[in-house]
Homo-oligomer: A and B are copies of this chain.
Amino acid sequence: MKDIDAMVKTVIVRYGELALKSEPTRMRFERCLREDIKSALNGLSFELRRERGRIFISTSSPRSVISRLVRLPGIVSVSPSVEVEARIEAISSAALNLARKSLSGKRSFAVRTSRVGSHTFTSRDVNTVVGSLILKKIPEIRVNLSEPDQEIFIEIRGERAYVFTEVFSGPGGLPVSTQGKVVALISGRVEGAIASWLMMKRGCKVIPIFFDARPYADARAKRLAVKIVKFFRAVEGSNIHFLVVPYGELLGVLSKNVQGPLICPICIRGMYKISEILADEEKAEGVVTGEGFDDLNSLEYLRILQYGVRIPIFRPLFSFDEGRIEKIAEQASMREFLSYPAGQSCSLFPRCLPDKVSLREVLDAEEKLNLNELFRKIAKNAEKIQKWSQWI
Query: Which chain A residues have a beta carbon within 8 Å of chain B's beta carbons?
Result: 17, 172-174, 179-182, 198-199, 201-204, 285-286, 293, 298-300, 302-303, 306-307, 310-316, 318-319, 321
* Residue from B199, B310, B321 in contact with A307 in the complex, judged by beta carbons closer than 8 Å: B310
A298–B25 Cα distance when bound, in Å, is: 12
Contact present for A302 and B312 (CB under 8 Å): yes
Residues on the B chain within 8 Å of A285, using CB: 298-300, 302-303
The answer to whether A293 touches B181 (Cβ under 8 A) is: no
Q: Which residues of B contact A314 (CB under 8 A)?
A: 315, 318-319
A182–B318 alpha-carbon span in the complex (Å):
14
**A284 → chain B, closest Cβ, in Å?**
8
**Additional pairs, 11, CB under 8 Å, beyond known A179-B293, A285-B300:** A182-B299, A198-B319, A199-B319, A202-B293, A202-B318, A202-B319, A286-B303, A299-B312, A302-B312, A314-B318, A316-B318
Q: In the complex, which of the residues A203, A286, A318, A319 has the most CB atoms of chain B within 10 Å of its own CB atom?
A: A319
- Complex contact B321–A17 (CB within 8 A): yes
Count this chain's copies in the assembly: 2
Which residues from chain B contact A17 at a C-beta distance below 8 Å? 321
Per the bound structure, the CA–CA distance linking A179 and B198 in Å amounts to 25
Closest-CB distance, A213 to chain B (whole angstroms)? 25
Instruction: Determine which of B198, B316, B321 lies in contact with A173 in the assembled complex, contact meaning CB atoms within 8 Å.
Output: B321
Q: A172-B321, A293-B179 are in contact. Are A303 and B299 (CB under 8 A)?
A: no
Given contacts A203-B293, A310-B307, A312-B306, contact A181 B299 (CB under 8 A): yes
CB of B310 within 8 A of CB of A179, answer no
- Per the bound structure, the CA–CA distance linking A261 and B286 in Å amounts to 23
For this complex, 15 residue pairs linking A to B, each with C-beta atoms less than 8 Å apart, are: A172-B321, A179-B293, A179-B298, A181-B299, A198-B319, A201-B319, A202-B318, A285-B300, A285-B302, A285-B303, A286-B299, A302-B312, A303-B312, A314-B319, A316-B318
Is A180 touching B299 in the complex (CB atoms < 8 A)? yes
Residue on B with the closest CB to A283? Answer: B300
Q: How far is the CA of A363 from the CA of B300 in the complex (A)?
A: 29
Q: Provide the residues of chain B in CB contact with A199, threshold 8 Å.
A: 319
Cα A318 to Cα B288 in complex, Å, equals 12
Bound CA–CA A180/B302 (angstroms): 11
List of 10 A-B pairs having minimum Cβ-Cβ separation, nearest first = A285-B299, A180-B299, A198-B319, A316-B319, A202-B293, A285-B303, A306-B312, A202-B319, A180-B298, A285-B300
C-alpha gap A261/B306 in the complex (Å)? 30
How far apart are the CA atoms of A204 and B296 in the complex, in Å? 13
Bound CA–CA A319/B203 (angstroms): 10
Q: Is the CB of B202 within 8 A of A299?
A: no
How far apart are the CA atoms of A182 and B319 in the complex, in Å? 13
CB-CB under 8 A from A319, the residues of chain B are: 198-199, 201-202, 314, 316
- A282 to B: closest C-beta gap in Å: 12
- Chain B residue nearest to A198 in the complex (CB): B319
**Chain B nearest CB, measured from A337 CB (Å):** 18
Q: Please name the residue on chain B nearest to A172 by beta carbon.
A: B321
Which B residues touch A311, using CB under 8 A?
A: 303
Q: Is the CB of B300 within 8 A of A180?
A: yes
Chain B residues lying within 8 Å of A298, measured Cβ to Cβ, are 179-180, 285
In the assembled complex, the CB of A258 is this many whole angstroms from the nearest CB of chain B, namely: 24
- A318: chain B residues within 8 A (beta carbon): 202, 314, 316
**Distance in Å from the Cβ of A279 to the closest Cβ of chain B?**
10
Which residues of chain B come closer than 8 Å to A310, judged between CB atoms?
307
Q: What CA separation (Å) do A201 and B318 show in the bound complex?
A: 11
Give every chain B residue within 8 A of A315 (Cβ-Cβ): 314
